[in-house]
């Protein structure tokens, strides 16, 4: 198995923005509404990190190899938070800069890692497990993004929006989660009103959650309306 560092060296682009645009179009679109280029780059680094973690269950041929990939990223966090040289991976380097600029919480970043272990188990998630997984992936990521965008906002208000988006991504494979998703998106619509205007792009992509794929222009219009109204 090639190392993750080797895979990074083999990338045809070091541009994380272009990478996230390709693999995570919903959150990339929502990041276009972040006015400050430095803050936008830090949010993109966070999304790139989350997508690296999401890859572990998908690309590993067995659970052990998936655990090895997740351990690799936990070790990267060790380097970032212990002030040691950070491994030469574009996402790790960019995340280190975001952590330094915004004092991101290590426990929350480790929660993003821990949540992916459940995906290494092929058994279907129960409703409770799906809710925990959504909160600890999309929800925590949205909370971290909200903190980057506005340290003064009540970042916890982003949890439901990020959770709804994560659950919405699972509906194609697990349509039985739709009633649960509807409850979470309803809660998210209320919670997001507690976010500042600056922090709202951290959850704007929830406006696309659970909806059929549409033309890119329609998706952009829906997000634009969501941001303009401050509602998902």
Q: How many domains does the chain have?
A: 1
Based on C-alpha coordinates, what's the Rg of the chain? Answer: 17
Q: Are 33 and 201 in contact (CB under 8 A)?
A: yes
Would you list the DSSP string of 71-138?
HHHHHHHHHHHTTPPPPS-HHHHHHHHHHHHH---HHHHHHHHHHGGGGGS-SPPPHHHHHHHHIIII
CATH number at residue 216: 1.10.600.10
**Rounded to 5 degrees, what are φ and ψ at 121?**
-95, 120
104: CB partners within 8 A, 6+ apart = 46, 98, 144, 147, 148
Tens of each residue's pLDDT in the chain, 232 residues = 445 655 554 443 359 999 999 999 999 999 999 999 999 999 999 999 999 999 998 887 789 999 999 999 999 999 999 999 999 999 999 999 999 999 999 999 999 999 999 999 989 999 999 999 999 999 999 999 999 999 999 999 999 999 999 999 999 889 999 999 999 999 999 999 999 999 999 999 999 998 877 788 899 999 999 999 999 9
Structural domain boundaries, residue 188: 4-229
Q: Are 158 and 198 in contact (CB under 8 A)?
A: no
Check: pTM over 0.85? Answer yes or no: yes
154: CB partners within 8 A, 6+ apart = 194, 195
């Amino acid at each position: 198995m090639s190392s993750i560092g080797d895979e990074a060296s083999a990338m045809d682009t070091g541009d994380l923005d272009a990478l996230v645009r390709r693999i995570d179009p919903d959150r990339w679109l929502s990041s276009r509404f972040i006015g400050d280029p430095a803050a936008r780059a830090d949010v993109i680094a966070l999304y790139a990190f989350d997508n690296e973690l999401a890859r572990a269950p998908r690309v590993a041929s067995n659970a052990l190899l998936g655990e090895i990939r997740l351990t690799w990223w936990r070790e990267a966090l060790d380097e970032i938070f212990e002030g040691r040289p950070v491994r030469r991976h574009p996402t790790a380097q960019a995340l280190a800069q975001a952590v330094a600029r915004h004092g991101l919480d290590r426990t929350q970043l480790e929660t993003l890692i821990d949540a992916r272990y459940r995906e290494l188990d092929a058994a279907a998630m129960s409703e409770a497990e799906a809710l925990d997984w959504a909160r600890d992936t999309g929800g925590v990521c949205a909370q971290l993004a909200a903190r980057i965008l506005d340290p003064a906002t009540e970042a916890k208000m982003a949890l439901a929006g990020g959770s709804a988006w994560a659950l919405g991504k699972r509906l194609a494979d697990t349509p039985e989660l739709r009633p649960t998703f509807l409850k979470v998106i309803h809660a998210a619509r209320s919670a997001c009103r507690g976010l500042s205007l600056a922090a709202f792009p951290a959850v704007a992509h929830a406006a696309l959650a659970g909806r059929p794929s549409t033309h890119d222009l329609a998706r952009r219009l829906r997000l634009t309306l969501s941001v303009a109204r401050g509602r998902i």
